[in-house]
Amino acid sequence: MENNSNLDVIIIGGSYAGLSAAMALGRSLRKVLIIDSGKPCNRQTPHSHNFITQDGNTPKEISSTAKEQVLNYPTVQFLDGKAISCSMQEDNYEVFVENGNSFFGKKILFATGVKDIMPSIKGFTQCWGISILHCPYCHGYEVKHENIGVMANGDTAFEMSKLIYNWSKNLTLFTNGKSTLNEEQTQKLHTKNIKIIETKISEFEHQEGQIQNIIFTNKIKHPISAIFSRVNFEQHSAIPKEMGCKFDENGFIEVDLFKKTSVKDIFAVGDATTMFRAVSFAVASGTIAGAFINRELIEENF
């Protein structure tokens, strides 16, 4: 790196939100370092949708183009590496990287995202983001009117089934065990001809991530084109919690309208802060954070 001690902002995480913030900051003449470990949660997803000008491009194509454009600004630098810790040193934060280097910056922006925790069902991980999907706004159009399913239970299952029914009336709910839907919810799904299958799932049979069949523990196969499901997650980086950032009840970093966390001079954006996991949301949050960080730096130095 050209300079590790005179940075305005260190951005930890260099996907859509981090790159978007870096562009706003680079255009504001700020000295910025982006540190990224190269493990976005959508790395298996073949195509990104619902983002104008980029609809149908691969996530990698979008991020690669963004990175190239951001690095055209001479005050922005990019480091392939993993940030492992952060501490306050006088008026600056010091960020330590796995390779042993450390860097100093006035402001920290976490764009670290989340890590999905997959259920222990054979084939689920291989299909995640390809034919086991989390967002109908991102992927529902591509499986419209097909034989699709929802894998969930209880209130989540009811709400997801109601949502996904908009894209396909040929819908089955797989509760993967005894249903915990209440009587009213069960009856409502039945009136919409949404089948409810409670048998436990042993495997998702697939070809290169594209589901062919659900195989139940009783060995019966159920053909299916796609599944919508929600999985648990954890923060991709432990550093925000170590720095004292507050988290909400769902496990997201708490931020205000301008993406400020509860800790002075620390901001957060993207999937680490919200359930709205879409490229367009990430990009928008990065732009907001970049502009407001620049505003703070102006106020502090004018």
Instruction: Give me 207's structure tokens.
Output: 């070809």
Looking at the domain assignment, is residue 1 inside a domain? no
| Statement to judge: residues 217 and 238 lie in one domain | no
Find, among 244, 292, 240, the residue nearest to 112 by Cα.
Answer: 240
Summarize the confidence of residues 232-240 as an average pLDDT: 96
User: Which DSSP string do the residues of 109-173 spell out, in sequence order?
Assistant: EE---EEEE--S-BTHHHHBTTTEES-HHHHTGGGTTSSEEEE--HHHHHHHHHHHTTT-SSEEE
Distances (CA, A) of 103 to 94, 236, 242, 268: 5, 20, 18, 18
pLDDT of 46 reads 82
Find, among 291, 289, 286, the residue nearest to 18 by Cα.
Answer: 286
Q: What is the mean pLDDT of the chain?
A: 95
pLDDT of 4 reads 65
Domain count, the chain: 2
pLDDT band at 1 (very low <50, low <70, confident <90, very high): low
- HSE-up (13 A, CA, CB side) for residue 186: 12
Domain final residue pick, 208, 229, 250: 229
| Statement to judge: residues 42 and 108 lie in one domain | yes
* 22 pLDDT above the threshold of 80: yes
Summarize the confidence of residues 248-266 as an average pLDDT: 97
pTM, rounded to two decimals: 0.93
* 29 pLDDT above the threshold of 60: yes
User: Is 105:265 a contact under the CB 8 Å cutoff?
Assistant: no
pLDDT of 42 reads 72
- Between residues 293 and 48, which one has the greater pLDDT? 293
| Statement to judge: residues 137 and 199 lie in one domain | yes
Looking at the domain assignment, is residue 2 inside a domain? no
How many CB atoms sit inside 10 A of residue 214's CB? 25
Looking at the domain assignment, is residue 210 inside a domain? yes
pLDDT band at 240 (very low <50, low <70, confident <90, very high): very high
| Statement to judge: residues 215 and 249 lie in one domain | no
| Statement to judge: residues 127 and 219 lie in one domain | yes
| Statement to judge: residues 142 and 225 lie in one domain | yes
* 291 pLDDT above the threshold of 60: yes
pLDDT of 23 reads 98
pLDDT of 253 reads 98
Q: Where are the alpha helices (DSSP H) in 151-272?
A: 154-164, 183-191, 239-242
pLDDT band at 3 (very low <50, low <70, confident <90, very high): low
Angular region, 53: left φ>0, alpha ψ -120 to 50, beta rest: left
pLDDT of 173 reads 98
Summarize the confidence of residues 7-36 as an average pLDDT: 97
* 233 pLDDT above the threshold of 60: yes
| Statement to judge: residues 105 and 237 lie in one domain | yes
| Statement to judge: residues 42 and 191 lie in one domain | no
Judged by average pLDDT, the poorest of 1-5, 158-162, 190-194, 293-297 is 1-5
Domain final residue pick, 209, 229, 249: 229
| CA 137 to chain CA centroid, nearest Å | 14
Percent of the chain with pLDDT over 70: 98
The three-state (H, E, C) secondary structure of 29-72, written as one string: CCCEEEEECCCCCCCCCCCCCCCCCCCCCCHHHHHHHHHHHHCC
Looking at the domain assignment, is residue 188 inside a domain? yes
| Statement to judge: residues 126 and 218 lie in one domain | yes
Q: Using one digit for the tens of pLDDT, what is the confidence trace for 77-126? A: 999 999 999 999 888 999 999 999 999 999 999 999 999 999 999 999 99
Instruction: Give me 18's structure tokens.
Output: 């981090």
CATH of the domain at 212: 3.50.50.60
Q: Classify strands 102-110 and 114-117 as parallel, antiparallel or unpaired.
A: unpaired
pLDDT of 89 reads 84
Q: Using one digit for the tens of pLDDT, what is the confidence trace for 53-84? A: 999 899 899 999 999 999 999 999 999 999 99
| Statement to judge: residues 195 and 266 lie in one domain | no
Percent of the chain with pLDDT over 90: 89
Largest CA distance in the chain: 71
Q: Using one digit for the tens of pLDDT, what is the confidence trace for 172-181? A: 999 999 999 9
| Statement to judge: residues 128 and 201 lie in one domain | yes
| Statement to judge: residues 207 and 174 lie in one domain | yes
Looking at the domain assignment, is residue 156 inside a domain? yes
* 277 pLDDT above the threshold of 60: yes
d(CA 163, CA 196): 16
d(CA 241, CA 239): 5
* 148 pLDDT above the threshold of 70: yes
Task: Using DSSP, state whether 83 is helix, strand or coil.
Answer: strand
Domain containing residue 245: 7-116+232-301
d(CA 136, CA 96): 38
pLDDT of 160 reads 98
Domain final residue pick, 204, 229, 254: 229
Looking at the domain assignment, is residue 288 inside a domain? yes
